[in-house]
A and B are shown apart, each in its own frame.
Chain A
Amino acid sequence: MVEWTDFERATIVDIFSKMQYEVVGPAALARCLVVYPWTQRYFGNFGNLYNAAAISGNPMVAKHGTTILHGLDRAVKNMDDIKATYAELSVLHSEKLHVDPDNFKLLSDCLTIVVAAQLGKDFTGEVQAAFQKFLAVVVSALGRQYH
């Protein structure tokens, strides 16, 4: 089981309570598709992804980015058993979506960078450490049911 300090719990809850899902979600997914273009392989039916401007303005990308970010809510509410919380989603990503689990890390790096821009100075080294630890646990849980 993952051990969380009081600071880490409070930090994660705080970040997500202030989260602007419709801004951060789309921005993080768009950034991932631009910075790591091979991730576009999973979105063949999303239409125009030809350049950064098209990606950032694509409504399907925006909608999906928001969906993904809300997907983290369950982990925030169940920090003491993220592994079990995401067992089903892990199977989905493996069996149905066939997403290479390395991609989870790429998206989580982009999410960190977007949240950093949002929080500015408040995104201190300690806050970053807590946030990245949380994302690492999520990423690990999502990759667990692959075989």
Chain B
Amino acid sequence: MTTLTAKDKDAVRTFWAKVSGKEEDIGTDAVARMLAVYPQTKTYFAHWKDLSPSSPSARKHGVTVMKGVADAVSKIDDLKGGLLTLSELHAFTLRVDPANFKILSHCLLVVLSIMFPNDFTPEAHVALDKFLAAVALALAEKYR
């Protein structure tokens, strides 16, 4: 995968500034969509009492995931180093198949498209797609 150019990073930071304050809504919607559109992802949450997309557990998880993404934005200049602990968590404890990172990224982009139809231009889209791919790569760093 490609490295993020200065232009990409600028685009991500600019867009993220617009998103400020709505992170929770974005996260909960993205996780809810993931569970609805890709039911196989529910296999990771068998320990939840309620697996419906609108359950409190799903909402809480959306917030958690989004905090991670926001953190990644702040560490955009060194994703591998900055996300080391999270990578170890996903590799050794959660053991989420990395294919699912792509799935969640897609759902995030759909939510951004709905919530920010004018700001989520094709240019913003490509920068964010690259960024999320880079985050996924950093998260998979410790897998093997």
Contact = CB atoms under 8 A, between A and B. Distances in A.
A117 interface: yes
A123 B113 CA distance: 11
State which size class the interface on B falls in: 10 to 19
Interface of B: 32-33, 35-37, 53, 106, 109-110, 113-114, 117, 120-123, 125-126, 129
Contact of B114 (A30, A35, A121, A132): A121
A31 B120 CA distance: 11
A34 B129 CA distance: 11
B8 to A, nearest CB: 12
Given A113-B109, A125-B33, A125-B53, A30 B122 contact: yes
Nearest to A130: B37
A128 B113 contact: no
B110 A34 contact: no
A112 B126 CA distance: 15
Nearest to A35: B126
5 contacts: A31-B122, A34-B122, A55-B122, A117-B113, A119-B114
B114 A34 contact: no
Contacts of B122: 30-31, 34-35, 52, 55-56
B36 A126 contact: yes
B114 A123 contact: yes
Given A35-B129, A129-B36, A129-B37, A52 B110 contact: no
A52 B121 contact: yes
B121 A128 contact: no
B36 A120 contact: no
A110 to B, nearest CB: 8
Contacts of A119: 114
